[in-house]
Structure 1
Amino acid sequence: MGDLEIRPATEDDVPAIVDMLADDPLGAARESPDDLSPYLAALKRLSGDPHQHLVVAVQDGRVVGTLQLTLIPGLSRKGATRSIIEAVRIHADARGGGLGSRLIEWAVDQSRREGCQLVQLTSDASRTDAHRFYERLGFTASHVGFKLAL
């Protein structure tokens, strides 16, 4: 693996991020790479919020990975702040080389720097390979999740 830079996402990164989000059956059904306007608006909201970190992994000048880290201050767990890792994606031709592990390590380290006491993530029930990956990194499947589309 060549030099890897993990940095905040910019507008120029949005097409590559959306392509990765759409590059599987689940993402293909819910993403719209042909219309980037909602993604650019979302990036603007995220960039203005200090509790949000949308990052990209860049290798050899190319975006090869992304994730979003959200910090949530709370009252439970004695006022603990937790972080949530979402939308982890690695470009198809960059998988298997440790890039996903490096991105998750960055998110866990950033969570520590931000004073979090807990790191959480969700993964669609159908993504069994991802579940094994997260378990190898020390995460445990501890909850059942629910969603309500609005």
Structure 2
Amino acid sequence: MPSIFLRRATPPDVTLIYSFLCELEEETFDFEQFNTIYNRNLLNPDCHYFLAFDHDRCVGYASVHAQWLLHHCGKVGEIQEMFVIPDYRSKGIGQLLIQQLFEVAQHENFEILEVTANKKRLDTHRFYERQGLERTHFKFVKKMK
């Protein structure tokens, strides 16, 4: 495995994370709106953003957002995004990122940690199952705009 280190994301990382998420979602987002949301979330103590680096090259990103949910009677974390650049996949980067999210979940006393992955991302489903997450729900979506 390459020499990887993790750190929390900062405001100047917005363009890097923007490019990762546009690639992940196969969509070009409105950068101004993205930047506004990103910076708002950085100020929110329930949002945690992490970057993975191989020396000075950023090779991955992951985020978890927490919320207090009545139906769990406690704090629940949801992995919102996880991305590793293609030439660094299957090298343990995703495992390091998710381990960091597990540490946040423990430190923040989450009742559970959950993730939703697009149904077409079968490799992603297998990755999360290998990390000990169970497939327990279906997600239904209706676009409102």
Q: Distance in 2 between matches of 1:85 and 1:99?
A: 16
Shift of 1:72: 1.1
Paired positions, count: 144
Any stretches of 5+ residues in structure 2 without a counterpart? none
Deviations 1:27-50 (A, max 9, x none): 22x333xx5322221111101111
Q: Distance in 2 between matches of 1:97 and 1:85?
A: 20
Q: Within the alignment, does 1:57 sit opposite 2:60 as a pair?
A: no
Q: Distance in 2 between matches of 1:132 and 1:102?
A: 16
Q: Distance in 2 between matches of 1:62 and 1:37?
A: 25
What residue in structure 1 maps to residue 90 of structure 2?
96
Shift of 1:87: 1.3
Shift of 1:122: 0.5
What residue in structure 1 maps to residue 110 of structure 2?
116
Sequence identity of aligned pairs in percent? 26
Amino acid at match of 1:121: V
Amino acid at match of 1:58: F
Shift of 1:5: 2.5
Q: Within the alignment, does 1:39 sit opposite 2:40 as a pair?
A: no
Is the partner of 1:22 in helix, strand or coil?
Answer: helix
What residue in structure 2 maps to residue 12 of structure 1?
12
- TM-score, with length taken from structure 2: 0.90
Q: Distance in 1 between matches of 2:106 and 2:4?
A: 21
What residue in structure 2 maps to residue 148 of structure 1?
142
Q: Distance in 2 between matches of 1:16 and 1:80?
A: 33
Deviations 1:77-106 (A, max 9, x none): 3x2211000111001111110000110111
Shift of 1:114: 0.3
1:129 to 123, 127, 131: 123
- TM-score, with length taken from structure 1: 0.87
Is the partner of 1:110 in helix, strand or coil?
Answer: helix
Amino acid at match of 2:11: E
Is the partner of 2:64 in helix, strand or coil?
Answer: strand
Contact 1:14/1:36 (<8 A) preserved: no
